[in-house]
Structure 1
Amino acid sequence: MSQLPIQALFEPLQQALSTHRQIILEAPTGAGKSTALPLAMLSWPSINGKILMLEPRRVAARSVAHFIAQSLGEKVGDSVGYRVRGDTKVSRHTRLEIVTEGILTRMIQQDPELNGIDVIIFDEIHERHLPTDLGLALTLEVQDSLRDDLTLIAMSATLAGLPLQQLMPEATLLVSEGRSFDVEQVYRPVTRQQPWLEHMANVIAESVKTDSPHVPQQYQMGSILAFLPGKGEINKLQRLLSQKVDTQVFLLCPLYGDLTPAEQDNAIAGAPKGKRKIVLATNVAESSLTIDGITIVVDSGYKREASFNPRTGVSRLSLKRISQASAIQRAGRAGRLAPGCCVRLWAQEEQSRLSKAEAPEISVSELTTMALECAYWGESNIENLPLLTAPPAIHQQKAWQLLTQLELVDANHKISPHGKAAYELGCHPRLAHMLLQSTVLAKTQKQPELVSLACLLAAVLEARGLPKKGVDISQYLSLATQGLMAAQVNKWQASLSVSSDIKQLARDAASRDISTLLALAYPDRIAQARGKQGFRLSNGTGVTIDIEDNMSTHEWLVVADFQESQGRNAGRVYLAAAINPEHLKHDLGLLISEHKVCEWDEAKGRFFAEKQQKIGELIVSRSLESNVDSDLIVQALINHIQSKGLSILNLDERFYQLQCRVKLAQLYAPEYDWPSLESADLLATLSEWLAPYLVDVNSIAKLQKLDILSQVKNLLTWSQQQTLNELLPTHWKMATGTSAPIHYQIDEASDKGCEDIDQASDEVLASHSVRGRALLRVRLQEALGLSQSPLLLHGKLVVTMELLSPAQRPIALTADLASFWQGPYVEVKKEMRGRYPRHLWPDDPANTTATKFTKKKTPGLK
C-alpha cells in the first residue's frame, strides 16, 4: 500500500488537521483513500480518539474492515472493527470503526456529543445515498453547536456536480491522483431482435474465449465482473451462463446486498488456482470494493431505480440507464490491479447521451424515516438541516402526514413520546408504530402473544430477498424464527418486555390477528376487491394480485407490501393478509369514519342521501337517509357540476365572451388584479361563488334556471366591471349609431410565458397582440370614414374588422383598415358595385361619410 497515490497526501493532510476541522478530499478510484488512508491515520499522533469511517454499503464496510485488519496482522474487532445492520464486530480496543449510513445517524442521535470520537470520514460521498446526506447534515450540526474539536473528512471519487464546497465553505480541499491502469473500451450494443439478457450472456461467453474477436487475449487470464440492475437479472443470467460456459473452469458468483456475508466474501475473493470467476453484481461493486483478479468488465448499462410516488405512497421500480459517472466507475473496476477491458452493451454514440451523474436519493426517495429522524433531533422541517440537496416539498408533506396519522409527531411536527419510543426500536416508523400498539392491543384483548406476533411480522417486512411463497404473509412467519431474523425478533421482544415461543406462534398465528396488527402499520392500505385480480386501497390506489394466488379471492385485505413497476397501471401486491368481512367493523373500528353524503341519481333524476361507513376512500357499508339536509344537497349539486363541467349550467355565448375578455385583460392590463374566470378555477371554487345561490335549488331544472352570468360577473368588483367595459367593450358604437358586436378570441397556444407579463413594458405588451383577437362584424358602408381599425386596451389591441356585404355576408377581413382602403378595397368595389348597385361604393372610402342606407335614402346622394 506504500505505492498508492494517497500516500502523497499524508503530510498535507496532517498539516490540514492542525488548522481545519473540515476537509474535502477528492481521490479517484484506486488512490487508496478507503484503505491506506484510515490505516495510516491510526498511527498519527494528532488523532487520539476513535475514527469513524462511513461506507455506503454493508459489503464494502465489512470488506474494508477485513482488509485493514489483515494489513495490521490483527483480527477484525481488535484495532479495526465494523458495525452494519445485524452484524457488529468491535471491542473496547477498537479505534477505527467502519460503519454503514444508518448506523452513523443512530450513533449521533444517541450521543450527540460523540464522546471519544475525534474524526468522522464520509467515504464515497458522491454516491449521494439518503442516509449519507442525513448523516453529514447531523455531523455538521454537532460540529457547529457541540463539538468544535470534531474533524470531518468528506471523501469523493469526484467533486463534479457535488456542492460540498458550498455546504462547507471553510473546508480545505485536497486532491489526490488516482491509480488505475488503462481500460480498453469495447461497445457491443444489443440488437433490436434480441432480449438484452440473452445478448449479455452471449457476450460474456464469447469474452472468455481465447479467440474472442472483441476482447484481446492479454485480458483472458483474469476474472470477469458483470454489472446488472438487480437480483432477478443476476439469477436469470446465472442460469443462462451455466449452459454457455464450462462451469468446471468458470465459477459463477452472484454479488448483491441480500446475500449472506459468507456468500459476499466468496464473490469478492480471488479465484482458486486454475479457475476463473464470473462475478455477477449489482452496483454494490461500483466503488470501495476491489474484487481480486478482475480484468474484464461487462456492463449492461442498466440500474434499477426506486422513485417515490407521493400519490400512492410507494416507490416505483424502474429499469433505467446508468449515468456517465457510473459507467466510468464500472469500467474502472477492470483496471484496478492491471490493464483491463470493459465491454459496454450500448452503442458508442449513446455514451455521450447518458446523464452526467445519478440523481441524489433525497430527490427521489420516501422521506418518512428521515422526517422521524429530524423530529427526534428536534427539527420540524427537513430543509432546515444543512443538506447538499433540498428534498421535494411533496415528499416532505407526505412523510409528515403519515407520521402525524400514526401519532408519532404532532401537528407542528414535534415528536411525541410515542414517536420517541418508535424511533428507539430502530425500524421503519410504520413497523415501530405496529410494535408499540401491539402492546396496547395485547392488554385490551388479553392476548400477550400479539406482541411477539407483531415482532415476527416486522421481521418479515424488514427482510430482503424472501423466497417466493405467495402473497399470504403468514407463509413467511416461520422464516422469522431462524438466523438473523430471529435475532432481530428476540431483540424487539426484549425491548417490549415480552417473551414467547416464536416457532409455535408462527405455526398457530390466526389470520384475524395478523390482519389487525398489519392494519396498525398500514391504515392507508386496507384493500377492497374490484374485479377478478384488482383491489382498491383505502388511499385510492389500485393494486393487483395474480389470479392463481389464493389471496386474490378475498373481498378485503390489508396490504403490507406492494410495488409499482414501469409499464404497469396498478401496483403488484407481494405481501398481504385477509380480513374477514364479519370482523371488519369490530377489529378495525378505529379506522372507520362516518359520513353523510348526498348525490344525484342520473337514472331516477333525483337526489338521494345516505350514511356511509368508510375506511379512507373505501365504503364499508351504507344506509339511505330519509331526510336530505339542504347543505348536503348544495354539496351534491357542486359535486355534480364538478363532475359534469360548467356546460350543464345555463351558459350562453355572453359567458364565454366574458371569460375571453377577462383573460385578455389579465394579459394586457394586469395592474387591475383581475380574478381568474377560467373554467377549471370556477369549478374548483364553486363552493365559494355559487353555493350561496344553491340553497333553494333541489333539482337540475332549477339549477339550469340560475342566472350564472350574473353570479360570475359578481366575481369582479364594480370598478373592475366598469374598467373591463371601457378596455374591452362588448360592442363598438359606429358613426351610423349602430352598436356593432365585438367577438373576442383567445389563442391558447400563445399563453405560454404569460406569467411575467406584469413586469413587461408597453412595447413588449404590444408585441403580444397575437395572444388574442377582437373581431368587429359590420357592413362595409358603416365603416366608411374610418381611417384605421379601432384600438382597444389603450391602443395595445387592434380590432380585426370583418366587413360585410349589404346581405350581411363576409367580403373582407382586415386588422389594417387604412391599407385595406388603399388596396384590396378596389377589387371588392368592382365586384360588389355590380352585385349591389343601390348601395354606396365610393372611390375614397376613408373620406366618405358612413351610412346604413341605400344611395337613394342616403342624404346628399342622388
Structure 2
Amino acid sequence: MKTQLPIDEVMPAVLDALRERGRLALQAPPGAGKTTRVPLAMLEAGLTKGRILMLEPRRLAARAAAERMAQTLGEKAGETVGYRVRGASEVSKATRIEVVTEGILTRMMQDNPELPSIGAVIFDEFHERSLNADLGLALCLEIAGALRDDLMLVAMSATLDAGPVATLMEAPIVTSEGRSYPVTPHWLDTPLPKTTRFEQAVADLVLHALTQSEGSALVFLPGEGEIRRVQNLLERQVPNDCTVAPLFGAMDFKAQRAAINPAPSGRKIVLATSIAETSLTIEGIRIVVDGGRARRAEFNPSSGMSRLVTTRVTQAEATQRAGRAGRMSAGVAYKLWTKGEDGALAAYPPAEIESGDLSAFALELALWGAQAEELAFVTPPHAGRLMEAKSLLHMLGALDAQHRITSHGRTLAKLPLHPRLAHMVALGGHTAATLAAILAERDPLRGAPLDLSHRMRAVAGERVSGEVHHATLARIRQEAKRLSRSTAAHGPEDIGTLAALAYPDRIGLRRKGDAARFVLSGGKGAVIPDGDPLAGERLIVATDLDGDPREARIRQGTALSESALRAAFADQIAWHDHCVWSRRDGRVETRRQERFGALVLDDRTWSDAPQDVVAAAMLDGVTQLGLRPDKAAARFLRRAALMADHAGFPDFSEGHLLATLEDWLLPHLGTTRSTADWKRFDMLPALKSRLDWDQQQQMDRAAPGHFVTPLGRRIAIDYDGDTPQIAVRLQEMFGVTRHPSVAGQPLQVTLLSPAQRPVQVTMDLIGFWDGSYADVRKDMKSQYPRHPWPEDPREADPTLRAKPRGT
C-alpha cells in the first residue's frame, strides 16, 4: 500500500491546473513528496504523450529521485523512469519520465528548440535558482510561446516565494501544507563566543543531540574541509554503535550511496554539505544539526575571478535543512545559533544569476540568438556583469565584435565545460583533455607544489609528493577519456601553452625585485606562497586564484616559456609608445614597450618622442603638482579674479584652469618635462593668451597692473591682500581730488614720507586731505623742512623734489 504523503492532498488541484493552464507553480515544504509523486501522477493521468523531463540541481539527487520512482513502480531505473547526468545514464526506449541535471535541458533546447519528444518540463527545487534553471525556464517559456503551446511547465520548490515565478509563468499557484512529521527546533541559549572553534562547536552540538534524541543524525557543514575535521573529532568520541559518514559533491557515487543508505545497525551520523538539503531521503534521520553556514561562489567582475565564500545560512536554507529530520518520522533540529540570531538571517540566498560567473550563460544566450532583455527571467542579469562575460568570450574568439556567436563559439557551446576550458580543449592536443578534467575538478593533491605538472603526473599514475585524493583522480581520468574525443588532432600539448589558452587574462610576469609577486595580463596582481618552486619562474599561468580583488593568492598554476607565449599570442603582442607622467620620478617617462595585455615583455628608452606627445603627458604632471604661478602670474590671476563678474570674461579660477590645461597651457609647455622644469616655467604668457585684445584692454582699464601717479610714474598695484593696494610718496599725490579705484572698489593707498616710511593708510584720500592731513603736515614739516607741505594739498602740484638748500 502506498504511503500517504502531504502532496497527495493537493494532487487533484495540481492535475486540474495542468489540464486547464498547462503551467503550475507548486509550493510544497520538505518531506511533502513532490519530487517523486508529481511526475508519476502526471504520467498516470495521461497529461501528455511526450516524455516528462524533470530537472534536478545535483547529480546525486537526480539519480536518487529516479531510482525511488522506479522502485515505486516495481522497476529498475532505465525502464519507465530513467536518468541522465554527467558521466552516467540509465534510459531506454520505454522511458517516460527522465530525471536530468539542469544543463542537459539547455543542451537539448539548443540542439532542437521544438523539444519534439518532450511533453512536460518540471523544474524541481527551483528555489536554488541556479543559472541553468533560470536560463532553462526562460528558454522554455519562449519555446512554449512561439513553438509549443502544448508544452507543460512546472516549477516546484520547498521554500521559494512562488509569487514572482507564478507571475513570470502566468501560472496558478498550488500550495501543499505541512510536513509528513513535525520537527522541533532547538537553538543555543547564548551566542557562540568569537574564540570558539567552529568544528569543535559543531561536534559538541552533535554529541549533545545524540544524548537528547533518538535516531540517526544529519549534520550540515559548509564544505569538505569542515566535514573532515568534524569527522576526526567525532570518531574519537561517539558511541560504538554510531557510524560517521561524509557526504559531499566530490565523492564518487558509490560513496555517496553508502552515506544515504541506512546503517546496517546502530545509528548513523551523516556529515553533509548543502547537497543533502534537497530531494534526498536518508532513512533513519530524526536529528538535524545545522552548523548555520553555507559556502557560495561569488564572482568579482572587476578581477574576472570567482571565489568560494562562507556565509550565514538564510532562513529558507535553515527551513530546508530542518525539514530533513521530518521525512520519515517526528524529528528535532539543533541549530548552532540563538533564536534571536535566527530573526536576523536573510530570507533567501542570492540567485546564481546575481552572484555567479555569467560566461557560460552569455555563451548560451548568444547561441540561442537572443539578448537577455528579450527573455523572461525571474531576476534579470546585471548588464555590467553580463558585458564582462561577453568581453571574455570575445577574448576567447567565441563572440565577434558585435557579440554574435562565431563558429568557434558554437564549438565551445557543445562542450560540457566552462568556456575557458572548452576553448583550450577545442584548440589543444590530447593533453588538453586531461588538463581540462583536472581544472574542472577540485585539486586531487594536498600539500603538493602548485605546478599543474604534478597533477598531470598523478593522473598518469606516477608517484608525486603530497596527499593524493584517489576518488578525484578516478573522476579526472574518466572525464579526460570522454573529453579526448573533442581535442584537436594537431593542437599544442605543452601544459603552459594550454593553460594560457584557457586563461589569457591570467598570464603572470614576475615583478622586478620580488620573486613571489606577479602582475597578470588582465591587470591584476597575484602572489605565490613563499617557498613554492613556481615563484622562481619569470612567466606563469595562474589557473586557480582565491579571488582577492587587491592581490589574489595563486593556488594552482604552471610555468610558461616566453617562446610559447609568443607563439600562442603572436597577433596580440605589439610595441606601444609609452609617454606618461611618473609621479614617483617627478618627470615625463618616455619608453617603448612590447606588451601582451598588462605585461611588459621588453622595455626600451624612447629617445625621439615628439615634443607634442611629451607636452601632453606633462599635463598630468601639472595636474598633480598644481599650477604654482610665479609672482607675475599670481598678480595676473588676482587681477583676473576681480573680473569674474564681468560678462563674457574667461574663468581664471584654479579648478577651471586645471580642467582646461589642454586648451591654454599645452601650446606653451615647450620642452617642460619635469618638476624642476615646471618650477622655472613662466606661466604668464600662457595665461594672457586666454584673453583677446579687447578683453586685455578691459582688464587693464578695470583692474590695471599699475597705478599711474600724477607725475606719470607707474607703480605696481599689489593684489596679494583682500584689497588692491599701492604705496606712494604722499607729496606725489598732491593735487588728487578723487580717490583712485580698481574694478569698482577703492584702492588702498599707503602714503609714504620722503624717507619711504608709512605715514597714513587710507581708502579715502579726499577725507584724509580734509581731516588728519593737517596733523600729519605739522609732523612732516618739522621732520622734513626742506620738502613742501602746502596747507591745501588739493591745490598743490605733485612733487618728489625738496627745496634747494638756503631757501
Instruction: Check whether TM > 0.5.
Output: yes
Amino acid at match of 1:533: A
Post-superposition offset of 1:158: 3.4
Change (3 A) 1:116 1:203: same
**Structure 1, unaligned runs of 5 or more:** 210-216, 439-450, 501-508, 663-671, 723-738, 744-775, 779-805, 808-837, 841-849
Residues 839 and 855 in structure 1, CA contact (< 8 A), matched pair in contact too: no
Residues 540 and 558 in structure 2, CA contact (< 8 A), matched pair in contact too: yes
Structure 2 counterpart of 1:265, from 239, 244, 257: 257
Change (3 A) 1:603 1:410: closer
| Equivalent position of 2:175 in the other structure | 175
Residues 851 and 858 in structure 1, CA contact (< 8 A), matched pair in contact too: no
Residues 839 and 853 in structure 1, CA contact (< 8 A), matched pair in contact too: no
Give the SS at the match of 1:94.
coil
Change (3 A) 1:713 1:526: farther
Post-superposition offset of 1:24: 1.3
Residues 26 and 162 in structure 2, CA contact (< 8 A), matched pair in contact too: no
Give the Cα–Cα distance (whole angstroms) in 1 for the partners of residues 308 and 210 of structure 2: 32
Amino acid at match of 2:194: R
- Whether 2:436 is the aligned partner of 1:458: answer yes
CA deviations over 1:652-691 (Å, ceiling 9, x no partner): 79999999x99xxxxxxxxx9x99x9979967x8768865
Post-superposition offset of 1:586: 4.8
Amino acid at match of 2:416: G
| Equivalent position of 2:356 in the other structure | 365
Structure 2 counterpart of 1:422, from 412, 429, 435: 412
- Whether 2:609 is the aligned partner of 1:618: answer no
Give the Cα–Cα distance (whole angstroms) in 2 for the partners of residues 470 and 657 of structure 1: 70
- Quick check: 307-316 or 698-707, which moved more? 698-707
Residues 86 and 484 in structure 1, CA contact (< 8 A), matched pair in contact too: no
- Whether 2:347 is the aligned partner of 1:356: answer yes
**Structure 2, unaligned runs of 5 or more:** 461-472, 699-716, 725-748, 751-759, 773-807
Change (3 A) 1:554 1:689: farther
Residues 646 and 679 in structure 1, CA contact (< 8 A), matched pair in contact too: no
Post-superposition offset of 1:592: 2.0
- Whether 2:611 is the aligned partner of 1:630: answer yes
| Equivalent position of 2:230 in the other structure | 237
Post-superposition offset of 1:551: 1.3
Amino acid at match of 2:260: I
Residues 427 and 487 in structure 2, CA contact (< 8 A), matched pair in contact too: no
Amino acid at match of 2:323: G
Change (3 A) 1:605 1:537: closer
Structure 1 counterpart of 2:335, from 341, 344, 347: 344
Give the SS at the match of 2:546.
strand
Change (3 A) 1:12 1:545: same
Query: TM-score with structure 1 length normalisation?
Result: 0.73
- Whether 2:283 is the aligned partner of 1:292: answer yes
Residues 430 and 487 in structure 2, CA contact (< 8 A), matched pair in contact too: no
| Equivalent position of 1:576 in the other structure | 557
Amino acid at match of 1:538: S
Structure 1 counterpart of 2:520, from 537, 555, 580: 537
Equivalent runs, 1:182-331 vs 2, <5 Å: 182-188=182-188, 189-209=191-211, 217=212, 219=213, 221-246=214-239, 248-273=240-265, 275-331=266-322
- Whether 2:576 is the aligned partner of 1:595: answer yes
* Rg comparison, structure with higher value: 2
Change (3 A) 1:635 1:259: farther
Post-superposition offset of 1:389: 0.8
- Quick check: 5-14 or 156-165, which moved more? 156-165
| Equivalent position of 1:400 in the other structure | 390
Give the SS at the match of 1:190.
coil
Give the Cα–Cα distance (whole angstroms) in 1 for the partners of residues 94 and 347 of structure 2: 43
Equivalent runs, 1:321-720 vs 2, <5 Å: 321-379=312-370, 381-438=371-428, 451-464=429-442, 466-468=444-446, 469-478=448-457, 480=459, 483-496=474-487, 498=489, 513-530=494-511, 531-564=514-547, 569-581=550-562, 584-586=565-567, 588-600=569-581, 607-641=588-622, 644=624, 646=626, 697-700=672-675, 703=678, 705=681
Change (3 A) 1:699 1:52: same
Residues 597 and 632 in structure 1, CA contact (< 8 A), matched pair in contact too: no
Post-superposition offset of 1:742: 14
Give the SS at the match of 1:387.
coil
Give the Cα–Cα distance (whole angstroms) in 1 for the partners of residues 687 and 187 of structure 2: 67
Residues 27 and 162 in structure 2, CA contact (< 8 A), matched pair in contact too: no
Give the Cα–Cα distance (whole angstroms) in 2 for the partners of residues 681 and 128 of structure 1: 53
Residues 608 and 628 in structure 1, CA contact (< 8 A), matched pair in contact too: no
| Equivalent position of 1:787 in the other structure | none
| Equivalent position of 1:802 in the other structure | none
Give the Cα–Cα distance (whole angstroms) in 2 for the partners of residues 204 and 496 of structure 1: 49
The percent identity for this pair of structures is 38
Give the Cα–Cα distance (whole angstroms) in 2 for the partners of residues 159 and 712 of structure 1: 70
Change (3 A) 1:494 1:629: same
Change (3 A) 1:654 1:395: farther
Residues 165 and 378 in structure 2, CA contact (< 8 A), matched pair in contact too: yes
Give the SS at the match of 1:292.
coil
Query: TM-score with structure 2 length normalisation?
Result: 0.78
| Equivalent position of 1:447 in the other structure | none
Post-superposition offset of 1:549: 2.1
Count the aligned residue pairs: 696
Give the Cα–Cα distance (whole angstroms) in 1 for the partners of residues 655 and 475 of structure 2: 59
Give the SS at the match of 2:445.
coil
Give the Cα–Cα distance (whole angstroms) in 1 for the partners of residues 337 and 479 of structure 2: 43
Change (3 A) 1:602 1:540: closer
Give the SS at the match of 2:289.
strand
| Equivalent position of 2:467 in the other structure | none
Amino acid at match of 1:365: G
Change (3 A) 1:384 1:483: same
Post-superposition offset of 1:376: 0.6
Post-superposition offset of 1:454: 1.3
Give the Cα–Cα distance (whole angstroms) in 2 for the partners of residues 655 and 351 of structure 1: 65
Post-superposition offset of 1:384: 2.7
| Equivalent position of 1:751 in the other structure | none
Residues 78 and 91 in structure 2, CA contact (< 8 A), matched pair in contact too: yes
Change (3 A) 1:630 1:203: same
Amino acid at match of 2:220: F
Give the Cα–Cα distance (whole angstroms) in 2 for the partners of residues 303 and 290 of structure 1: 20
Give the Cα–Cα distance (whole angstroms) in 2 for the partners of residues 284 and 681 of structure 1: 62
| Equivalent position of 1:735 in the other structure | none
Question: Cα RMSD over matched residues?
Answer: 4.1
Give the SS at the match of 1:152.
strand
Give the Cα–Cα distance (whole angstroms) in 2 for the partners of residues 263 and 149 of structure 1: 41
| Equivalent position of 1:835 in the other structure | none
Residues 536 and 542 in structure 1, CA contact (< 8 A), matched pair in contact too: yes
Give the Cα–Cα distance (whole angstroms) in 1 for the partners of residues 65 and 723 of structure 2: 83
Residues 523 and 591 in structure 1, CA contact (< 8 A), matched pair in contact too: no
Residues 363 and 392 in structure 1, CA contact (< 8 A), matched pair in contact too: yes
Amino acid at match of 1:522: Y
Residues 426 and 486 in structure 2, CA contact (< 8 A), matched pair in contact too: no
Change (3 A) 1:621 1:854: same
Change (3 A) 1:602 1:159: closer
Change (3 A) 1:687 1:75: farther
Change (3 A) 1:693 1:458: farther
Give the Cα–Cα distance (whole angstroms) in 1 for the partners of residues 426 and 602 of structure 2: 30
Change (3 A) 1:159 1:560: closer
Residues 649 and 703 in structure 1, CA contact (< 8 A), matched pair in contact too: no
Give the Cα–Cα distance (whole angstroms) in 1 for the partners of residues 640 and 47 of structure 2: 78
Post-superposition offset of 1:854: 7.5
CA deviations over 1:40-62 (Å, ceiling 9, x no partner): 22211232110001111111111
Change (3 A) 1:600 1:149: closer
CA deviations over 1:454-503 (Å, ceiling 9, x no partner): 11111111123523233111111245566443343333332347599xxx
